[in-house]
Amino acid sequence: MGYGWQVMEVDETILQAEGGPVMIEPTQATPMLGACGWQVFRYRAKASGETVLTLGYARSFEPDAAPIETFTLTVKVR
């Protein structure tokens, strides 16, 4: 498996993951494995509060390597 998005930071007392990420393949066949597609992360609000959700784009088999890209957002649950 190549690169993929992985959860690096989230307060699980505020946001609860609903299963692992789901891979959605494109409607057209692609000639190269891993060439495109989407990962969907689903969360359920568990409690009021604010948390940072950070995803890292990395290889799962290289746990000590820094991600090559990160995505961070702040989630506010009221």
Residue 12: strand, helix, or coil: coil
- pLDDT tens digits in sequence order for the chain, 78 residues long: 588 999 999 999 999 999 999 988 776 655 566 557 789 999 999 999 999 999 999 998 998 999 999 999 999 999
pTM recorded for the entire structure: 0.81
| DSSP track, 22-73 | EEE--SS--SSTTSS-EEE--EEE-SSEEEEEEEEEEETT-TTSPPSEEEEE
What fold does the segment set 3-77 form as a domain? Immunoglobulin-like (2.60.40)
Per-residue b/e over 53-65, b at no fewer than 16 CB within 10 Å? Answer: bebbebeeeeeee
Residue 71, pLDDT score: 97
Its sign, for the CA torsion 28, 61, 9, 69, is negative
